[in-house]
Every structure is written in C-alpha cells, then in structure tokens.
Amino acid sequence: MKLRSMTCLATALALMLPLSAFARDWQVDAAGSTLSFKGSYQGEGFDGKFKKFDATIAYDAGDLAKSKFDVTIDLASADTSNSDRDDSLHGPDFFDVKKTPKARFVTESFAKAADGSVEAKGKLTIRDKTAPVTLKVAFAENGGKATLDVDTVLKRADYGLGAGSDWSDVGADVPVHGHLSLTAK
C-alpha cells in the first residue's frame, strides 16, 4: 500500500513540474489598453497612439527568464489627431504602410535593473529595420487581472523613419508608452 501511495505522489509531482516551468499567459483587453508615443515637429510637441496592436504576454515576476512579450503593431492605425501629419506618418518617408504595414517587438531577456525595476531587452522591427530596444517594465497583478506598463525612447533614425528627405525639423527621439490591461488565460 505504501509503494502505491508513493508512486501516485511521484506521478502527481511529475505532472505538476511542467506546469510550473512556464510563465502565466495573459490576454490583452483592447478596450483598456493603449500604445502611445510623443513626437515633435518644428519644436512643437504632439501626442499620438496606435489604435490597433496585438500582444502575446507571458509573465512571471518571480522567474523573469520564463517571461516573453511578442507585440505586433498595425502602423496604419497611427493617429496624432492631425490628418496631414498622419498621412505623412503612413507614407513612404516614415512607416510606408503600403510596403510594411506592421511593426513587431519581441523580447529576448528580462532582468532586474540596479534600481530594482524590471527591464525587458528585445528587438523592434519597423520598415524591415531591426534594432535593440530596452523597455522599463511595471507589472501589477491582482488575482486574475493585471496591468502592464512599459516605457522606452526610440531613435527614429534607427528604423529609417524620415529618411530620404531633410527631416531635421522632426524630433530624433520618440518616447513610447504602453499600458495594457490584462486578464489571465
């Protein structure tokens, strides 16, 4: 009888191990989530957002090595509340949405920064140009719900945005902020 009990316990533990080897998967609530950016033109700042994006999020604050972000952005959904600026962003000098309609960010690693915050390192591809990006990550879980906030500053020239013309009056740095409302899968 003892041998059978031990065998059952060992089997149950073995089945549980693979479940603990993965970060928790999260589904994005699009209605409560935003992906925004700031830009400047001729010294004047403006705010923008992407109205359409999708994200696959797996996150484990206790074991960051198991975490992963995979975000796809519909570049044609860029909106700055100015139709002339939006047309320029969608056109060949910037996003060139007819040739490259999507951008994609995929994490490669997560680590605690010196100040105790979490950083996610990954690659962002826009216009078939890929560059490394570091996100500052804030994750707050409350049962089956969570919020994920990420911040970074992109260099538009790293992605060929504004190439081919004199775009010196367009800001070189683009702060980006994402706020995702999440539900556990």
Q: Give me the phi and psi of 125, to 5 degrees please.
A: -115, 125
Q: What is the CA radius of gyration of the chain?
A: 21
Structure tokens at 132: 């490394």
pLDDT tens sequence across 85-136: 999 999 999 999 999 999 999 999 999 988 889 999 999 999 999 999 999 9
Whole-angstrom distance, CA of residue 125 vs CA of residue 112: 24
Q: What's the CATH superfamily of 23-184? A: Lipid/polyisoprenoid-binding, YceI-like (2.40.128.110)
Structure tokens at 185: 């899968």
pTM: 0.85
Whole-angstrom distance, CA of residue 171 vs CA of residue 79: 17
Higher pLDDT, 23 or 8: 23
Beta strands in 17-128 (DSSP E): 24-41, 44-50, 53-59, 68-74, 78-79, 102-112, 118-126
pLDDT tens sequence across 27-50: 999 999 999 999 998 889 999 999
Whole-angstrom distance, CA of residue 134 vs CA of residue 71: 14
Whole-angstrom distance, CA of residue 60 vs CA of residue 74: 27
